Amino acid sequence: MLIPRQTVPHLQLQTLDHGAYDLIADAPDRFSLVVFYRGLHCPICAKYLLELGRLQPDFEKRGVKVVAVSSDTAERAREMATKINAPALRFGYGLALGHAREWGLYISASRGTTSIGIEEPALFAEPGVFIVRPDASLYYGAVQTMPFARPHFDELLGAIDFAISKDYPARGEYTGAV
């Protein structure tokens, strides 16, 4: 389990159109928003990423750099990026499932062809959304076992505004006895 205020696992991977991504070297002014999605086979992911692409300029105005990541191949990631049509959105691909597990993501096995007629990979990571400080410490994290009921990006924008204006610390950091 990732702990707020502690360093997240290092994240390095290729993106489709924006070169190599390195979480630490990316150096945002305030935060990195790392959105792990299930892959091309997921119609809910496509809707979710459409919203992310639409709101990306709002995140950037707040000093937040955004990346969407999956374990898909470059070809499948390209199909998703084409479907989303958000050229500024960085699509990272080829996330190793062992690395996904280090981030606390759940792993699912294929159930065949999805409702949109696309075959699921044999194994893939379920969704997760993380807000990471420039020092690579976790500020916010949400992981899911299912594609449903994800954090809303407009609400995350409001939370970021609050965090910035109040200098609000990351919460959930206590690891002692209970």
- The CATH number linked to 24 is 3.40.30.10
pTM recorded for the entire structure: 0.97
In the prediction, which pLDDT does 56 show? Answer: 98
59 domain-assigned: yes
53 found inside a domain = yes
CA–CA distances in Å: residue 178 to residues 6, 90, 134, 175: 19, 41, 30, 9
Quick one: which of 67, 132, 143 has its CA closest to 105? 143
Residues 12-23, mean pLDDT to the nearest whole number? 97
DSSP one-letter code for 102: H
Tally of domains within the chain: 1
- Nearest residue to 80 (alpha-carbon basis) of 42, 30, 34: 42
Burial class (CB in 10 A: 0-12, 13-18, 19+), 62: middle
Is 113 part of a structural domain of the chain? yes
Q: What per-residue confidence (pLDDT) applies to 126?
A: 98
pLDDT at 141: 98
Residue 6 in any domain: the answer is: no
Specify if 131 maps to a domain. Answer: yes
What rounded mean pLDDT belongs to the chain?
A: 97
